[in-house]
Amino acid sequence: MVWSLALWFAFSRNHYPTGKDLKMTISVKTENRRDIHQEVTNTILTQLEKGTIPWHQPWQGGASKGFFDLPYNAVSSNYYQGINIILLWCANINKNFNNAEWATFKQWSEKNETIRKGEKGSMIVYYDVIEKEEDNEIKKIPFLKSYHVFNRCQLNRYEPQEEQPKEEVIPLVQRLEIVDSFVENTQAVIEHGKDGAFYRPSEDKIYMPSVEAFQETATSTATEGYYSTLLHELVHWSGAEKRLNRTKGKKFGDNAYAVEELIAELGAAFLCAEFDIATTQKGDHANYIAGWLKVLKDNKNCIITAASEASKAVNYMKQLNL
């Protein structure tokens, strides 16, 4: 549980993905070549087609009890990053796991744990590098690889009734004090009183409605709606030229615009998971899902790129808080 901003960062565990540049990827030729980008995208599409948004906590209030906590490795205690967060959240949804602890078969074995017979692992990915000679120069080119991990719920010694002891739920007001400190330490300029929430690059300023303008929904309180929206805009703010310098779309509907919007959605979801606050629903549920279905079907690389950039944005803002 998070008790103070200093304690939160003291125990924050970061698991960085391998590879230099997501835009420089190639497929490795094998006899049976896999399209891992498409496999990852299909995992997300499957959830969206069921009407589930895999980066939104589907209930309101209290701690997530492991289901939507940030997944971490049982050996290193490092948080998984980027698309692996979404993939493992999808696995939790599919298999109804209520634990955020994961490890490979070998890692569990080293901890004297065994996997139950018939259990299947969940795919996560990372970037490896191959060397290619061009014009007498060796170039290192990243490519996507996959492996499988198992949840603690899949272990032979797992006892559901004993695995999740009741923990004291920190009051929402106390959790939001942590968020306030986090936002303040970024030194982002925020102006309230506008009809909508948006980041204006020309002014390097975030505009927000007043807190009173937000309404309670089935999955979040009005206050959580305000803060999850603010974190969304803060992720946009992180992409300014003088910060992470992300490519922005020029108009609504173009690919770069869609990727940037997904970066902000995922970045806000990652932060909400760490702060233990609910994400807010964006407009009509069916239209929201339909929009992302189209984006992901049109571009199989979009979700991996966006998730990686979202983690970079979160880690950048954490550095501002140190």
Which residue ranges make up each domain of the chain? 5-320
Instruction: Quote the CA–CA distance of 105 and 163 in Å, as a whole number.
Output: 20
**Residue 285 φ/ψ, nearest 5 degrees:** -60, -50
Bridge partner residues of 147 (DSSP) = 124
pLDDT band at 26 (very low <50, low <70, confident <90, very high): very low
> Residue 8 pLDDT more than 60?
no
> 54 pLDDT exceeds 60?
yes
Q: Partners of 138 in the beta sheet?
A: 133
Q: What is the mean pLDDT of residues 120-131?
A: 93
pTM beyond cutoff 0.85:
no
Per the model's pLDDT, the better-predicted residue between 280 and 201 turns out to be: 201
Asked if pLDDT for residue 19 goes beyond 50, the answer is no
pLDDT band of residue 28 (cuts 50, 70, 90) is very low
Contacts for 183 with CB less than 8 Å, ≥ 6 apart: 190, 230, 231, 234
> For residue 78, which of 130, 124, 36 has the smallest C-alpha distance?
124
Q: What percent of the chain has pLDDT over 70?
A: 82
193 vs 211: CA distance, rounded Å:
9
Q: How big is the CA angle at 64 (ends 113 and 42), to the nearest 5 degrees?
A: 75
Over residues 8-25, the mean pLDDT reads 41
Q: Is the pLDDT of residue 183 over 80?
A: yes
Which residues in the chain belong to E strands, given as ranges? 72-73, 101-103, 122-134, 137-151, 190-192, 198-200, 205-208
Which contacts (CB < 8 Å, 24+ apart) does range 129-132 have? 129/18, 129/19, 130/26, 130/28
pLDDT for position 5:
44
Q: Which residue from 6, 93, 82, 52 is spatially nearest to 318, judged by alpha carbons?
A: 6
pLDDT of residue 173: 83
What confidence category does residue 171 fall into, taking pLDDT thresholds of 50, 70 and 90?
confident
Rounded Cα–Cα distance for residues 104 and 80 (Å): 13
Backbone dihedral angles phi then psi of residue 301, each to the nearest 5 degrees: -90, -10
Tell me which amino acid residue 69 is: D
Which pLDDT belongs to residue 255? 75
Residue 243's contacts (CB-CB under 8 Å, 6 or more residues apart) are 237, 316
Higher-pLDDT residue of 187, 138: 187
Give the pLDDT score at 250.
Answer: 63
* Distance set, CA 322 to CA 21, 255, 282, 315, 318 (Å): 26, 34, 31, 11, 7
Q: Cα separation of 176 and 272, whole Å?
A: 10
- Written as one letter, the residue type at 240 is A
- CB-CB contact of 14 with 78 (8 Å): yes
Handedness of CA 235, 236, 242, 244 (dihedral sign): positive
Residue 137: what pLDDT? 86
